[in-house]
Structure 1
Amino acid sequence: MRDLLKISARYGLIGSALIIIMFLVFYFSDENPLQELQMFDLFIIPIFVFFGVKEFRDRYNGELLKYWEGMTTGTIIALLIAGITALFLYLFVGWIDTSLLPEHIEILLGNLEETRDKIVEEMGADSYIESYEKVKGTTLRDIVIDSFAKKIIIGFLITSVVAVVLKRKELKPKS
């Protein structure tokens, strides 16, 4: 169990660090990282969950993996990535550069305005107005919770698949 926690912590911390580095790269290249970073979750989390579970199986568990071990390892990795990056996001946007949130909201409102006719046509004017007000009222708490929840969901779904794919049991000798 100690090895499981050690591997999970290592991969969770490295994955978090990579997402934070990408956030800072976007930030210092004058992009709004709140807008750009969401796509990286779809790549980084699966990679770190897969290789974390695989390393646990191959290196520390005698090339055997039970489903619960894979699920536990992957879930801890995803929780660490989600928690650490959410905390970083809260601190950075809430304390270091508070202008990121209003910029992000303006970008979202611009995107909403571009698709206004399509939204009104497909779902009605009330739906557009409701969406506009919802986006306009976005808070830092909303952004942090959304980021955390999306990472957890992605992590859990990927972990389920990885735990099944990498699962190996001891072969019983034939009598």
Structure 2
Amino acid sequence: MYKYLKTAYQFGTLGGVLSILSFFILSLIYPDPTNLNLVFGYLVTPVALFLGIKFFKDYTNHGFLSFAEGMTIGFVTYILIGLLSAFGIWSILLGVPDLFASIQETKWAVLDQNKDVIVSQVGLPSFEATKLSLQEMSAWDVALNDGIWKIIPGMFFSIIISIILRRNPN
């Protein structure tokens, strides 16, 4: 089982560390790095998945890859990326409370700016629920959201990459 997970651990850890580093660097440049970090995650996650599955196929499994093997490598890789990213961002936000306050202020400004559009599209009760949700938002909510948005696309990318790279012995 370890042979399946060795490359997944390596590339999952790499992707998670890059996500944390991205959040940290973006937080130095922007008051709310969350949206740009999600975009960065949409680039890092498929690259880490592809490299993890490809390295397993080429260097561990002698050029062969079943769909199940690809999905196993992919699963461990994107779960690691999501978990490391979430816990890393949570740690940063706990260590720098001003950053969390800045993120919250930016989200309030966006909500206030778009009040008319939001109310016209989803109604006043939904807008009020969003305001309440934003008031109760914690650093863990920001971090968990980032982690989830690394895991969900990772699922789909794993399926596609596993199908593309699949090669069974004849």
TM (norm. structure 1) is 0.89
2: CA distance between counterparts of 1:110 and 1:32? 11
Q: Is 1:21 the counterpart of 2:21 in the alignment?
A: yes
2: CA distance between counterparts of 1:28 and 1:122? 34
- 1:145 Cα deviation (Å)? 2.0
Gaps of 5+ in 2: none
Q: Aligned residues: percent identity? A: 24
* Aligned position for 1:64: 64
Say which one has the larger Rg.
1
> Which secondary structure does the structure 2 equivalent of 1:53 belong to?
helix
The residue identity in structure 2 corresponding to 1:132 is K
> Which secondary structure does the structure 1 equivalent of 2:97 belong to?
coil
> Which secondary structure does the structure 2 equivalent of 1:99 belong to?
helix
Question: Could you report, residue by residue, the CA deviation over 1:79-132 in whole angstroms, capped at 9, with x for unpaired residues?
Answer: 1111111111121111x2011222111111111112111112222222211212
Question: Superposition pairs for residues 33-112 of structure 1, below 5 Å?
Answer: 33-94=33-94, 96-112=95-111
Alignment CA distance shift 1:161-1:120 (3 Å): same
Alignment CA distance shift 1:31-1:130 (3 Å): closer
2: CA distance between counterparts of 1:12 and 1:101? 26
1: CA distance between counterparts of 2:44 and 2:9? 15
1: CA distance between counterparts of 2:27 and 2:130? 27
The residue identity in structure 2 corresponding to 1:157 is F
The residue identity in structure 2 corresponding to 1:61 is N
2: CA distance between counterparts of 1:150 and 1:121? 27
1: CA distance between counterparts of 2:13 and 2:160? 22
Runs of 4+ in 1 over 6 A off after TM superposition: none
* Aligned position for 1:118: 117
Q: Is 1:150 the counterpart of 2:149 in the alignment?
A: yes
TM (norm. structure 2) is 0.92
2: CA distance between counterparts of 1:16 and 1:103? 23
* Aligned position for 2:158: 159
Question: Could you report, residue by residue, the CA deviation over 1:40-77 in whole angstroms, capped at 9, with x for unpaired residues?
Answer: 11110011001110111122111110111100101111
> How many residues align structurally?
170
Question: Could you report, residue by residue, the CA deviation over 1:125-170 in whole angstroms, capped at 9, with x for unpaired residues?
Answer: 2221121221222112212222222211111111111111111111
Q: Is 1:140 the counterpart of 2:139 in the alignment?
A: yes
The residue identity in structure 1 corresponding to 2:99 is L
Structure having the larger proportion of residues in helix: 2
Question: Could you report, residue by residue, the CA deviation over 1:6-49 in whole angstroms, capped at 9, with x for unpaired residues?
Answer: 11111111112211221222123354333431111111001100
CA contact under 8 A between 1:35 and 1:104: conserved in structure 2? Answer: no
Gaps of 5+ in 1: none
- 1:4 Cα deviation (Å)? 2.1
